[in-house]
Structure 1
């Protein structure tokens, strides 16, 4: 029997991640990383370890969905959102809804929430709701707690830090309630094919798809198309792209910052 294939079946059952959605080389690299940490010599031995140690499923899930991030990662993207996208949406409607897909530990949706709060200060009639989703319930718990070290906040200026965060004695900072209240965290599998909502004004999914297969990237493009209202914004990671087979679903808005708009 192919031990790697057998291991993948157990991963799908225990970890609830479909291995075929990822490139095989990526899956193997992440498993090999866990093998080194658990002192298991081969796939068969690690498979037995996974079955015998329930806590390993959570650790492996974290390894497979790892997403190192920080507040206002790629500041130029957030500047376009602040200066152009949010003001345009505020002119079009009073209720703005944004989906942050693959939100990991929450830095990105909270960054959007800070910009949304600043917008609502200027436009009193406007409300913003941010849906933040991830398949990993462990990172979602961290996101909902909203506590971060100084390194995650290196792109947050002192004015925003004082206004939107509570400093703790241990050197960490907690997101204040007025920002937390703008974000709704929820478990969601992007591979389900079902959007978190429809007729959304923007979707951000940044640095999530780089390890996905081409088919899954195309499926996600269709998913986000179905989630967005006409002219809604799709904001990708700097190294990501829309394949030729599905590029007709979107038109370019900002080439440098990888921002697209849903086609009619």
Structure 2
């Protein structure tokens, strides 16, 4: 399959290893990876703050860049949710008929990483090896917008050597929510305190998720508590093998 890879803003600037891991993983599974260099932001932050017309060029750019691939993968439930749901809203309100049609075509083949692996490619065992104790945080967009279900957990359970432990109150939000963490800082901090306490209660050495934004928030909270827990994107765990194990050199915090 010819798969287009969209890095996302946080992936590009703060979590490049998660983007690289996504490409390495899919290439190892036998797929051709296409990375259009002209890609930019998905436009989610504009839309979420009420600027719906402004991201029209970003929506058009995404539809054009990924028009000729079989599928588009985003290592982010948040950005995948924006492409699948918000792009059509912007195109319908402010775009022309060709753009609306182009957006419909590309959104129908856009997937978060675990969705692509489990629901499209039919793969749960990707040949990964990760001999560490891990807990998984299901992010809000993946859980409630994309409804990925237990796909990420099925992938993690198949990883050789992993000690996967359940996260208490896993479905509770970590408190990031984009600008929510800035506009409602006290509430966000309280939610983060609950999430980091839950992570620490598992005794895990690694907390993983499919969204860099949540990992950034949780990782910051754990770091401020001097907790001996690292955050690591799901793609990096799945990309690790016996011959190329993960070394934590680029892990957060």
TM-score by length of 2: 0.33
Is the radius of gyration larger for structure 1 or structure 2? 1
Q: Which has the higher strand share?
A: 1
With a CA cutoff of 8 Å and minimum separation of 6, indicate the structure with the bigger relative contact order. 2
TM-score by length of 1: 0.32
